[in-house]
Chain A
Amino acid sequence: MRSSSEPEVTDAALTIEDLAVQLRSRGEVADILDGITLTVPRGSVTGVVGESGCGKSTLLRAILGILPGRATTPRGRILFEGRDILPARAAKPHGRIGFVPQDPYLSLNPVFRAGDQILEIMRRHAPGTRAEHRVKLVELFRAVQLPDPEAALHKYPHQFSGGQRQRLLIAAALCCDPALIVADEPTTALDVTTQREILGLLRELVRARGLSMLFVTHDFGVLASLCDEVSVLYAGRVAESGPTRAVLDTPTHPYTRMLLSCHPDRAVELLGIPGAVPPATAQPAGCRFHPRCPVAQPDCRSEVPPLLPWPGGRAVACPHTARMEAHALA
């Protein structure tokens, strides 16, 4: 048994090992995440991509230590800075992990000044006095290219545009000098032009500050432009993972293949695969994709396919990929 007090030396900013989370809802138990294993290498951006309902949000909540009250005790480990931060009683890495939420319109409290909301995070989790925090925050506002950073400190959220609010939240994510940024589809609530600006800003900040980032999205275009590594999630399990270029160019898991083949331009919506993502309360046995898979074999109905190593630093959770090759040619 590993002692949790003993830090483990690793070159990853974040390591998730065999994470499983279940939620109770009305007497039923929903399998939200099952056997999630992924790494965010230090100084790189790892994308998590999947359709809605695949467990992306729950994964983030597990990392941030805000799993809903109806979650059962999770299984597995989330290693951050040498500690397992998953257990409910573990000290949460507030400040060390910066969070960029999905909707900038809903994520700031409307009745408090935006600056004060961020200063409160710093008061609790960053060293220094309030005056020092203010100076630092204005610097950060400048770094995220917020217009008139001094005045921004005194404004309420509704006095900013959507894009500006997302810049505020990025500044908030950076305010305690985090080792890791976790971003939850931070551009989906914004219009296309603003999306591009925010992505450009994130890319620049990550490079300039040498940050590590876990970036959740359902948009392959965003994925390609921002992420070094990617994990494709399907129904709460990792279907495939590896360097983004390789996964996008030569998708291997039947699910990834179909996803990308229905959208050669890697556009936003992930439709075009027959059937639907199964409800989390009624996951099929065996491989969770088998009811929709064109090359499903009898063993797919009973055996859970392990995540197998693949050449080029990749991993694929399907033992029948060769059949997919034949299917694609036919």
Chain B
Amino acid sequence: MALYILRRIALSIPALLGLILLTFVLSRVVPGDPAATLAGDAATPAQIAQIRAQYGLDRPILEQAVIHVRQVLSGDLGNSIFSGRPVAEEIWQRLPATLELTFVALFLATLFGIGLGLVAALDHNGPLDHLVRVVSVGGLAIASFWLAIMLQLQFSMEWNLLPLRGRLDVALGQVPRLTGFMLFDTLAAGRPDMFLDALRHLALPAFTLALPGLATIARFTRSGVLEVLQKDYVLYARAAGYGRFRLAAIYVLRNAVTVTVTQVGLLFGALVSGAVAVEAVFDWPGLGTYAVQAILSADYKALLAVTLVIGVVYAVVNVAVDVAQAVIDPRVADQ
């Protein structure tokens, strides 16, 4: 098992190196001159040239690529062209907000997706199955930004039940930053009231982000369970007198979710990109709003760094998914 995990980690290294190079190439093919943007509207050509030299933009492209890779590997993501501050620092400030949102969304999507999928499969072609189908088609069809605004209108403006935007009510004060995860930091600071407030702030954006993933997971779980129910070992277990609940919820589901787990890994990528829109609507101070800002100001340093960080997180999540799969199905690691 340990060997299997090491192998999985080793396999993700070339992918990450490729990503570093790819982000570099991308930054050179997109239109827009960052030196000109930085110098401002009134800059003279001489000033622009000076800025270009200052950021190394005038060197040969291959040399720039090598410098780029070396810097990234040493943790230096460069300074933001927009704010002048180190990009790594700015991202470090915002990454936990996005991770907290996506992880909570992923948790909701997985929990309810698997639950609904199981219910649908056990009631194959029955009313519950149809209901779940409607929910999952709807979940995939509804655009996140529209849903986000509708939820805000209803829950925040109309009923005044949940906060409209942000991560925390400023009136409650602040907690010292330990991890950047509000759910953790508020508890660590001994402020359960702020923990609840953080949860209330998470509810709408997390639900919005989770819905498409929930739909996907429900569909995969349903078909997985239906397939497993046909297996000889299920018939055997029934003949041997397994309990109905144990048979469905444990014996069948564990086999069925091996496919679902792979989906969860792929889904994470969709969640992070979905977070850009959701963060914008809910004014969530995460990587998504940062990326939008970087795009608008042609801050290519910041954009490269965001892409890279998302890539790393994606790789980590996929290693975790591989490990989870090996834990669920012992045959995976033995192959």
Contacts and interface: CB of A to CB of B under 8 A. Distances in A.
Interface string B67-109: 0000000000000000000000000000000000000000000
B240 A172 contact: yes
Contact of A111 (B235, B242, B329): B329
A106 interface: yes
Interface in A162-181: 172
A42 interface: no
Given A110-B255, A112-B254, A101 B232 contact: yes
B254 A121 contact: no
Contacts of B246: 120
Interface string A183-221: 000000000000000000000000000000000000000
A61 B241 CA distance: 13
Nearest to B246: A120
A107 B233 contact: yes
A124 B236 contact: no
B231 A106 contact: yes
A40 interface: no
With most chain A CB atoms within 10 A of its CB, the pick from B235, B240, B254 is B240
B295 to A, nearest CB: 45
A283 B74 CA distance: 79
Contacts of A94: 240-241
A106 B233 contact: yes
Contacts of B238: 66
B59 interface: no
With most chain B CB atoms within 10 A of its CB, the pick from A65, A107, A125, A156 is A107
Nearest to A68: B235
A323 interface: no
A64 interface: yes
A45 interface: no
Contact of A109 (B233, B239, B243, B334): B233
Nearest to A98: B240
Contacts of B236: 99, 101, 107-108
A109 B255 contact: yes
B49 interface: no
B334 A92 contact: no
A111 B256 CA distance: 10
Given A110-B331, A158-B331, A120 B242 contact: yes
Nearest to B243: A124
Nearest to B329: A111
Interface residues of B, number: 22
B240 A109 contact: no
B241 A95 contact: yes
Contact of A121 (B233, B240, B329, B331): B240
B330 A156 contact: yes
Interface in B114-159: none
A189 B241 CA distance: 24
B4 interface: no
Given A101-B232, A110-B255, A92 B241 contact: yes
B328 interface: yes
Interface string B216-240: 0000000000000001110111111
B241 A106 contact: no
A124 B240 CA distance: 10
Contacts of B251: 109, 112
Interface in A79-127: 92, 94-95, 99, 101, 103, 106-112, 117, 120-121, 124-125
A108 B328 CA distance: 16
B232 A124 contact: no
Contacts of B240: 94, 99, 121, 172
Nearest to B238: A66
A121 B231 CA distance: 18
14 contacts: A64-B239, A66-B239, A94-B241, A99-B239, A101-B236, A103-B232, A109-B231, A109-B233, A110-B329, A111-B331, A112-B251, A156-B330, A158-B330, A159-B334
Given A66-B235, A108-B236, 9 more contacts: A99-B240, A106-B231, A109-B231, A109-B255, A110-B329, A110-B330, A110-B331, A120-B246, A121-B241
The 10 closest A-B pairs by CB, nearest first: A94-B241, A106-B232, A107-B236, A64-B239, A109-B233, A156-B330, A121-B240, A99-B239, A111-B329, A66-B238
Interface of A: 61, 64-66, 92, 94-95, 99, 101, 103, 106-112, 117, 120-121, 124-125, 156, 158-159, 172
